[in-house]
Amino acid sequence: MPLLGYTLDVMISAFLWIEVIIAVLLSLCILMQHRVSGLTSTFGGSGAVYVQRRGAEKVIYKATIILSIAFFGIAVLLWYLPS
């Protein structure tokens, strides 16, 4: 039985490291995105601007979505794993 506890500890540690790496990458992806409308749409300005993403901006946008889903999924997984 001690082997199972050791394996679980290694798995939790690996998931935590993966979570930290995803958090850093997600933060970088969010910071690299271009903001089209600043505070004008927040305070009643015309924020109805359609933006079509192309090239690197589209890749960063999709990477942000994928990383956020992975971050949330691993967080939920770590919540259910016994500590």
Q: Measure the CA–CA gap between 30 and 62, rounded to whole angstroms.
A: 11
The per-residue pLDDT for 4 is 63
The per-residue pLDDT for 50 is 67
22-32 as b/e: b if 16+ CB within 10 A: beebbeebeee
Q: Domain residues of the chain, as ranges?
A: 1-31+54-83
From first to last of the 83 residues of the chain, give the pLDDT tens digit.
Answer: 455 667 888 899 999 999 999 999 999 999 988 765 555 555 665 555 666 778 888 899 999 999 999 999 999 999 998 76
Rg (CA), the chain: 19
